[in-house]
Amino acid sequence: MKKVLVLGAGQLARMMDLAGAPLGMDIKAFDVRTNNVVHPVDPEHIYGDLKNGIKQCDVITAEFEHVAHNTLEECEASGKLFPSSNAIKIGGDRRLEKSLLESCNVANAKHYIIENKNDFDQALKQLELPIIFKSALEGYDGKGQWRLKSADQVEKTWLDMANFIADATSSVPQGIIAEQMVPFDREVSLVGARNTLGEIAVYPLTENHHTNGILSVSVASSINEKLQANAAEVFKKMAEKLNYVGVLAIEFFQVGEQLLVNEIAPRVHNSGHWTQQGADTCQFENHLRAICGLPLGGTHLIRPTAMVNIIGEDDISNEIYTIPSVSMHWYDKEKRVGRKMGHINLSGSTEVELAQRLVHLSTLLNKESFPDLSEFAKSYFAKVSQ
């Protein structure tokens, strides 16, 4: 029985455990806030400290990229960490991420690295408004971002960012990336896996919708072969460059038929949760297979599937269970504004059936917690039923 230690004890570690149990895997999670190794589904159950956790396990992985560097190094020294600390650090620092994109020669938004006021002034000269500024470290769910739309906001934007840099407590110096706002047609992501033998399997591209900077809906349905091939090639380039082992997610902006990489996530990803019901092997199982030296499982789409995030809400009508393909995934978290509390997967035997079910689902969920779902479902239905 393989013993896996996950750095981070959130919903991703929890879902790895739920996927690993049938494979006879023993998954434990390291809670970085308490420094305890805990059970991923029952975190009250404490096993000990990190040192002990490292000694007891066969393989170590991470569910998030903002792990303290000394922890990553301690894990890497054991020879058990997959993906490597280098890959995890790149995913956690937009400066390193941008230089990886450049070295792999993959298309991405024009950008400029800012460390001081002079860099900021240069960035304004090199890029055109609107510009998006992102913190180099610790950004997630759209946090640590500033959007500069008009010249009269320049001073205030700089002050906000300068304060943010000055207040940083990270061990690595905080910085800012200025990025050209991309007038994208849509956002898509590619989730894939590479195992210890170097074998690669990627899922179909997923279309992603955000509400207030947080992923709200992902849909995996029709496949555009050309885009898929393009995304798969980017995945192969980056995964091989990093000698990557595990699941890796790549977020893209689609502009016409072109894909620009937005960012990468060196881990299982929210936009891959649909694979729990829409693929033969879900991303959590494939991540475990990849890091444990097993062959990868099937990644093709078995039926059109959507994922709806439950954000800041813990009260969902039981009526949703009347929809035949509904699959509920709660994370057992305390309710907080903007917090990902769970997700709902929904499938259909055809895209039209999936769209009808999404419309139905949207009528059963409250509008305050799912503000854009109804409109999204209707427009998706209109698109696929043409």
**Shortest distance in whole angstroms from residue 267 CB to Mg ion:** 12
**Shortest distance in whole angstroms from residue 223 CB to ligand ATP:** 21
Which helix (H) or strand (E) segment holds residue 155: the answer is helix 154-166
* 292/25 Cα distance (integer angstroms): 10
Closest CB to Mg ion among residues 31, 251: 251
Binding mask 193-232 for Mg ion (x = CB under 5 A): ----------------------------------------
Number of residues that bind Mg ion (CB under 5 A): 1
Q: Figure out which of the listed residues 190, 215, 361, 373 binds ligand ATP, where binding follows CB under 6 A.
A: 215
SS3 state at 67: coil
**Shortest distance in whole angstroms from residue 262 CB to Mg ion:** 6
**Contacts of Mg ion in 248-287 (CB under 5 A):** 251
Closest CB to ligand ATP among residues 325, 376: 376
Q: Figure out which of the listed residues 48, 213, 298, 324 binds ligand ATP, where binding follows CB under 6 A.
A: 213
**Shortest distance in whole angstroms from residue 262 CB to ligand ATP:** 5
**Shortest distance in whole angstroms from residue 53 CB to ligand ATP:** 26
* 191/231 Cα distance (integer angstroms): 10
**Contacts of ligand ATP in 154-193 (CB under 6 A):** 179, 181-182, 187
> Is the peptide bond prior to 83 cis by the omega test (within 30 degrees of 0)?
yes
**Contacts of ligand ATP in 23-42 (CB under 6 A):** none
Cβ 124 vs Cβ 154: under 8 Å: yes
Task: Quickly list DSSP for 117-140.
Answer: HHHHHHHHHHS-SSEEEEESBS--
* 231/107 Cα distance (integer angstroms): 11
Closest among 184, 229, 232 to 208, alpha carbons compared: 184
CB atoms within 10 A of CB 32: 18
Please report whether residue 140 would count as binding ligand ATP according to CB under 6 A: yes
Closest CB to Mg ion among residues 106, 292: 106
Q: Figure out which of the listed residues 15, 57, 132, 219 binds ligand ATP, where binding follows CB under 6 A.
A: 132
Number of residues that bind ligand ATP (CB under 6 A): 18
**Shortest distance in whole angstroms from residue 238 CB to ligand ATP:** 16
* 277/265 Cα distance (integer angstroms): 22
* 4/57 Cα distance (integer angstroms): 6
Query: 165-173: which pairs have CB atoms within 8 A and are 24 or more residues apart?
Result: 168/137, 170/137, 170/138, 171/68, 171/69, 171/70, 172/69, 172/93, 172/137, 173/115
Q: Interface with ligand ATP by CB under 6 A: which residues?
A: 109, 132, 134, 139-143, 179, 181-182, 187, 210, 213, 215, 251, 262-263
Q: Interface with Mg ion by CB under 5 A: which residues?
A: 251
